[in-house]
Amino acid sequence: MFEVVFLGTSASAPSAKRNLPALVVKHDEYRFLIDCGEGTQRQILQSGIGFKRLNRILITHGHLDHILGLAGLLSTFMRWESIEELEIAGAASAIDRIRELLYGVVLRGTRPPMPVQLHAIEPGLYFEGEDFTITAFPVHHRGAESLGYVFDEKGRRPFLPDKAEALGIPPGPWRRDLVDGRPATLPDGRIIQPEEVLGDFHPGTRLVVIGDSGETDSLVEFCRGADALIIESTYLDEEADMAKQFGHLTARRSADLAVRAGVGQLLLTHISRRYREKDVQQEAQEVFANTTVARDFDTFQVKRSGE
């Protein structure tokens, strides 16, 4: 399961109720901040998340409304917060711009109080934990070198206690070995194979996070079968030409992507203050019913569809 907390859901400029783009993805003890618009540090405090273990930041692209908050966040870390290191990852052009912002404006020749790692990454595996991975993939948005991110829980075969009891497998390391897929030699000398006590393979939860995008055809396969898709919805279909001009999506096009990719849930963000929220949601739901327009501080638990 992944938990998503939206910290900013506005497009380009803040509104009275929406801050600039930022969200946090949680999985067990891991927390990832994705994008960091101006004012994000205040949103972190107001949400109750706090700064603890918030030391990995993924950037979708280098436009200012997605990165300016990094300056304030680093400044706060330098003065008030205890954090061992800070890692910021994104496409090369975004990292170049972030380096100018942090070292040219915030630090200005001084050294940060903790190691700051700026990682220019390319599409492919970015992170591998014990039970989940993060993969980056290319996104096309108005000439900006952009990335989306797939959070994939590793699949598993559930342990079947009834079968273990029937085979007389006592609690302890023997069951742990079987859960880990290793044969177990019981105290009585019998060898039990994992297949004897494990159920059918269950795929893990899949969450896809996309920032700004000007098209969807190249995104379908990356979003395929996601339990939740987070993506922008800057325009309504009545202004589709303007959306195309500025490299953004309409609510209808984002919903169409959800249908084509067979996702379980669609969460729309990057909402323009020119529209009413209910109009954005209505346009998307006409195409894909399980659509929600996210608001600042909304929290969603993303589980495997059907669970």
- Tell me: is residue 61 an annotated ligand-binding position: yes
- Tell me: is residue 177 an annotated ligand-binding position: no
Which of 1, 26, 16, 34 minimizes the C-alpha distance to 209? 34
* Cα–Cα separations (whole angstroms), residue 179 to 164, 182, 189, 232, 284: 11, 7, 19, 40, 42
Pairing of strands 206-209, 228-232: parallel
Check: CB of residue 51 under 8 Å from CB of residue 83. Answer: yes
- Tell me: is residue 202 an annotated ligand-binding position: no
Separation of alpha carbons 29 and 191, rounded Å? 35
- Tell me: is residue 65 an annotated ligand-binding position: yes
Separation of alpha carbons 95 and 87, rounded Å? 11
Q: Which residues are catalytic?
A: 65
Query: Where does residue 29 fall: left (phi above 0), alpha (psi -120 to 50 degrees), or beta otherwise?
Result: alpha
- Tell me: is residue 270 an annotated ligand-binding position: yes
- Tell me: is residue 141 an annotated ligand-binding position: yes
Pairing of strands 191-192, 266-269: unpaired
- Tell me: is residue 140 an annotated ligand-binding position: no
Percent helix, strand, coil in the chain, to 5, is 30, 30, 40
Which of 242, 210, 213 minimizes the C-alpha distance to 228? 210
Q: Indicate the DSSP class of residue 156.
A: B
Check: CB of residue 196 under 8 Å from CB of residue 116. Answer: no
- Known binding residues are 61, 63, 65-66, 141, 212, 270
- Known binding residues for Zn(2+) are 61, 63, 65-66, 141, 212, 270
